[in-house]
Chains A and B, each alone.
Chain A
Amino acid sequence: MKFELQKGSRSRILAIGLLAIAAIFVVRLFYLQVIQYSHYVAQAQAEQQKQFVIPAERGMIYAKNGDEPVRLVMNQSVYTVYADPQTVTDKDEIVEALKEVAGGNLVEGFADLLDAKESRYKILGTKLSRTQAELLKEKGFSGIGFQETSQRVYPEGTLAAQLLGYVDTENEGKYGLEGYLNDELSGVDGSLVAVTDVSEVPLTIGNKNVRIPEQDGKNVVLSIDRSVQSKVEQALKDAQKRTGAKEVSAMVMDPNSGKVLAMANYPTYDPEKYYEAKDVALFNNNVVSGTYEPGSTIKTFTMATGIEKNAVRPSDTFNNTDFIKIGDWTISNATRGITGTISFQTALEWSLNTGFVTIGQRLGNGTSITPAARQTMYDYYYNKFRLGQATGIELANEASGLVIAPDDQRSSEIRYANMTFGQGMEATMIQVASGFSALVNGGTYYQPTVIDGYMEDGEFKQNESPTPVATGIVQKSTSDTLKSMMIKARQSGFPGVDKSGYRIGGKTGTSQVSSPQGGYSDDESIASYVGFGGSDAPEYVIMVQVSGKDQIFQGARDALPIFTDISNWMLEYLKIQPKG
């Protein structure tokens, strides 16, 4: 059989061939453009579109200077300089320029890092200022890059360090206000999804660009007055030198609003260089985080409870033998010799434990602290004065303390006898100061706060006046009686220490410290003082504590002078006029 090509078959074959090729193209194009459409669109978008994070600026923190807000914590752009050793060409010049421009910010052995050719990223220096970074950028070195970050700066140095806390390298607030208000201060980062050019400059072409604006963090204005804070810190520094204490703490608050005017601990640290702190304990704010057995400062609360319940009046008397037996236990006075029939005013002045255990007994049947008396004490200590529970102040790591309830199996008469003079329970300084404020302001308990308002668009928006948490926790007459007792106690015990013409009162405390072996340690005690000052009404409450492991301190000797120093200064700073 012989095949013959028909006339015109070549062109027909060519046509068929071309048609087939065209068909292949069409099929291939159909596959690429229709079937694989989504895949290639996604690939193209991935190539052309970039997602950028628009970082939110962390909120600034302000203190008060009188009524004016002043900056306490700010943000500053700083730069990390890094190298891609594989693309570095002129090493000597780079080393020379880095030394000249950013000597103090370079990491150790930075020059050797430029030779680490196996790596693509080596950090050469951190926290360069904008000017330093600009100077280096101008030189246009190959393989050298810059990364901008934000860091906290503290124009007032270490002022209120433990109250503020710090911000770590992950931009997370730690301790203090930074820790507590981290979310509020951080804000919310925004994002931009956009088509970019090769230099990653966002372009407005395309219809899939998305911009979610960032929300900057709130700018917080503290109730802390920087002058009061500075004075308190200086007073603590002086006291630390004088007493040799390992730790000294103090706070000042307005008893009529709960606003904290100052809160400090010494020794302290520099929040800008928090990583240089030798002991993490330095980050703790002892005023809110440190629980202790508050000791004799609690006698004011016991006295108030007794007066409220008509169990005792200041002029009432009892027989003091310097000892009192509670079951198998004997409680003794630290100060001895003021024996015989003495008034409760005298018991307060000499801080006699026996007098306050007697008040506990008179809350019961007169000879023992009955379950009913324990319930009354618990109701006042825990429910009214809010000892042994966190106050809710806007600071991280607030401790709650402990007041054993009467129905708790750990409750007993001896425990409640100890509680009448502040042992057998745990509280923080902020709890004692807040309860004490309610005691001297007429019976209104305010939640302590360190926040006075916010800065919005450069204007200070002050918070509304604080609403009391509870009113009438003691009667005004009880409050007045207590104040008179404390003023009298101070005047008789420490005459001449205060400026004349003012009403200054308070109570010392010398707390025993639990021993790890059980019982109380003979080698350690904590000194404290809580008091108020003002003209007609108390205008400030100051709480002081002096402590240290294996150190013995006394309230009158070690804590009271700090109170006096701050109090006399406060009278002038607040321009309180003397009466008479």
Chain B
Amino acid sequence: MSYQQTSYYTSRRRQNWSRNQNTTRFVSSVKLGPVAHTVLVALMITVLGLIYLTQATRATGYDYEAQRIQSQISELNDEKADLEIENARLTALETIKDSSVAKEMTTPSSTEFAQP
């Protein structure tokens, strides 16, 4: 029977151990060279960059949405203003005077007041 050693046990007695010090340590069997390290760092930077870009793009997307809503508000305000003007024109004295109802009205020959 054979086995592969994956971890090492170091006896306390084999070193100058002291209180609160781990008596075992893990040593990975995967060894990374300098190229792998560089690639990993580059990948991490790329991922971070992509995250930043995603966020920035999302913020810009909100800007376009805000701009679209702002345009809508502006357009609706213009429409509201136009309607208010139309309303004011329709209720203007000149319009009322020229209305068919007003033309049918006559001036009273006399006015009397009810006594309180």
Interface string of A197-230 (1 = CB under 8 A from B): 1000111110000000000000000000011001
Of B63, B79, B85, the residue contacting A204 (CB under 8 A) is B63
User: Bound state CA distance, A70 and B89, in angstroms?
Assistant: 11
Interface string of A291-313 (1 = CB under 8 A from B): 00000000000000000000000
Question: Residues of A with Cβ closer than 8 Å to B?
Answer: 70-71, 74-77, 129-130, 153, 155-157, 159, 197, 201-205, 226-227, 230, 572, 575, 577-578
Query: Is A202 a contact of B63 with CB atoms below 8 Å?
Result: yes
Known: A202-B67, A203-B63, A577-B113. A226 touches B81 (CB 8 A): no
Interface string of B75-102 (1 = CB under 8 A from A): 0001101101100110111100000000
**Contact residues in B for A204 (Cβ distance below 8 Å):** 59-60, 62-63
Of A77, A155, A572, A577, the residue contacting B92 (CB under 8 A) is A155
Of A155, A203, A230, the residue contacting B85 (CB under 8 A) is A155
Query: Is A227 a contact of B111 with CB atoms below 8 Å?
Result: no
**Contact residues in A for B94 (Cβ distance below 8 Å):** 156-157, 159
User: Bound state CA distance, A202 and B62, in angstroms?
Assistant: 11
Of A70, A76, A227, the residue contacting B82 (CB under 8 A) is A76
User: Bound state CA distance, A77 and B92, in angstroms?
Assistant: 20
Known: A159-B93, A205-B59, A230-B93. A76 touches B64 (CB 8 A): no
Chain B nearest CB: distance from A93 CB in Å?
26
**Contact residues in A for B59 (Cβ distance below 8 Å):** 203-205
Chain A nearest CB: distance from B83 CB in Å?
11
Interface string of B104-116 (1 = CB under 8 A from A): 0000000101000
Most buried by B among A75, A77, A155, A157: A155
User: Bound state CA distance, A129 and B63, in angstroms?
Assistant: 29
**Contact residues in A for B79 (Cβ distance below 8 Å):** 130
Of A155, A159, A578, the residue contacting B89 (CB under 8 A) is A155
User: Bound state CA distance, A578 and B67, in angstroms?
Assistant: 64
Chain B nearest CB: distance from A41 CB in Å?
19
B56 close to chain A: CB less than 8 A: yes
Q: How large is the interface on B (under 10, 10 to 19, 20 to 34, 35 or more residues)?
A: 20 to 34
Query: Is B60 a contact of A130 with CB atoms below 8 Å?
Result: no
Query: Is A74 a contact of B64 with CB atoms below 8 Å?
Result: no
**Contact residues in A for B92 (Cβ distance below 8 Å):** 155-157
**Contact residues in A for B60 (Cβ distance below 8 Å):** 197, 203-205
**Contact residues in B for A130 (Cβ distance below 8 Å):** 78-79, 82
Query: Which residue of chain B has its CB nearest to the CB of A150?
Result: B81
Chain B nearest CB: distance from A54 CB in Å?
11
**Contact residues in A for B56 (Cβ distance below 8 Å):** 205
Query: Which residue of chain B has its CB nearest to the CB of A77?
Result: B78
Most buried by A among B59, B79, B81: B81
Query: Is A227 a contact of B93 with CB atoms below 8 Å?
Result: yes
**Contact residues in B for A76 (Cβ distance below 8 Å):** 81-82, 85
Query: Is A74 a contact of B88 with CB atoms below 8 Å?
Result: yes
User: Bound state CA distance, A557 and B67, in angstroms?
Assistant: 66
- 9 smallest A-B Cβ distances: which pairs? A155-B88, A577-B113, A71-B88, A155-B89, A203-B63, A156-B92, A155-B92, A230-B93, A201-B67
Query: Is B78 a contact of A74 with CB atoms below 8 Å?
Result: no
Known: A76-B85, A130-B78. A201 touches B64 (CB 8 A): yes
User: Bound state CA distance, A417 and B93, in angstroms?
Assistant: 47
Q: Which of B36-87 contact A (CB under 8 A)?
A: 56, 59-60, 62-64, 67, 78-79, 81-82, 84-85
User: Bound state CA distance, A159 and B93, in angstroms?
Assistant: 9
User: Bound state CA distance, A230 and B97, in angstroms?
Assistant: 11
Query: Which residue of chain B has its CB nearest to the CB of A233?
Result: B93
**Contact residues in B for A202 (Cβ distance below 8 Å):** 63, 67
11 A-B pairs with CB atoms under 8 Å apart are A74-B88, A76-B81, A155-B85, A155-B92, A156-B92, A197-B60, A201-B67, A202-B67, A204-B62, A205-B56, A226-B93
**Contact residues in A for B84 (Cβ distance below 8 Å):** 71, 74
User: Bound state CA distance, A40 and B91, in angstroms?
Assistant: 60
User: Bound state CA distance, A567 and B19, in angstroms?
Assistant: 111
User: Bound state CA distance, A75 and B77, in angstroms?
Assistant: 12
User: Bound state CA distance, A202 and B67, in angstroms?
Assistant: 8
Query: Which residue of chain B has its CB nearest to the CB of A130?
Result: B78
User: Bound state CA distance, A577 and B115, in angstroms?
Assistant: 9
Chain A nearest CB: distance from B30 CB in Å?
35
**Contact residues in B for A575 (Cβ distance below 8 Å):** 113
User: Bound state CA distance, A536 and B64, in angstroms?
Assistant: 68
**Contact residues in B for A129 (Cβ distance below 8 Å):** 82
**Contact residues in B for A201 (Cβ distance below 8 Å):** 63-64, 67
User: Bound state CA distance, A201 and B63, in angstroms?
Assistant: 8
User: Bound state CA distance, A156 and B113, in angstroms?
Assistant: 32
**Contact residues in B for A77 (Cβ distance below 8 Å):** 78, 81
Interface string of B7-29 (1 = CB under 8 A from A): 00000000000000000000000
User: Bound state CA distance, A227 and B92, in angstroms?
Assistant: 10
User: Bound state CA distance, A201 and B89, in angstroms?
Assistant: 36
**Contact residues in B for A577 (Cβ distance below 8 Å):** 113
User: Bound state CA distance, A202 and B60, in angstroms?
Assistant: 9
Query: Which residue of chain B has its CB nearest to the CB of A74?
Result: B85
User: Bound state CA distance, A155 and B62, in angstroms?
Assistant: 40
User: Bound state CA distance, A74 and B85, in angstroms?
Assistant: 7
Query: Is A74 a contact of B81 with CB atoms below 8 Å?
Result: yes
Query: Which residue of chain B has its CB nearest to the CB of A159?
Result: B93
User: Bound state CA distance, A71 and B79, in angstroms?
Assistant: 17
**Contact residues in B for A74 (Cβ distance below 8 Å):** 81, 84-85, 88
Chain A nearest CB: distance from B79 CB in Å?
8
